[in-house]
Amino acid sequence: MTYYIYMLTNKGRTVLYIGVTNSLENRMAWHWNTKKNSFVKRYNLNRLVYYEEYGDVGDAIAREKQLKRWGREKKNDLVRRLNPKWEDLYVRMFGASMRDPSTSLGMTA
């Protein structure tokens, strides 16, 4: 099984969210369809800007914890290395936007 650590941000790149999952597509759908008062919804974190793949869940969780301890500029540098334009990688990977309610994001994680 593959595990992912991922970073979400909003249009203005003012907030970063780091998480871990075994299905990026399902987790993004879950974030987008969850309650209005969730952190992701509150800050409109609808752009997948970074991810890493792991074969071991322990390694993925350790990396997530490591990244969460980093300062903001170090996180920004990491994103810029993979994704210099801060493009929405969700669109590239799954052909849809988390911001488009007409796409089929009704899955659950």
C-alpha span between 50 and 52 (Å, rounded): 7
Mean pLDDT of 1-30: 93
Name the pTM for this structure: 0.84
Q: Which pLDDT tens digit goes with each residue over 31-68? A: 878 776 788 888 888 899 999 999 999 999 999 999 99
pLDDT of 100 reads 55
Domains in the chain and their CATH numbers?
3-94 (3.40.1440.10)
Four-CA torsion 43, 101, 6, 88, nearest 10 degrees: -90
**Residue 104 reports pLDDT greater than 80:** no
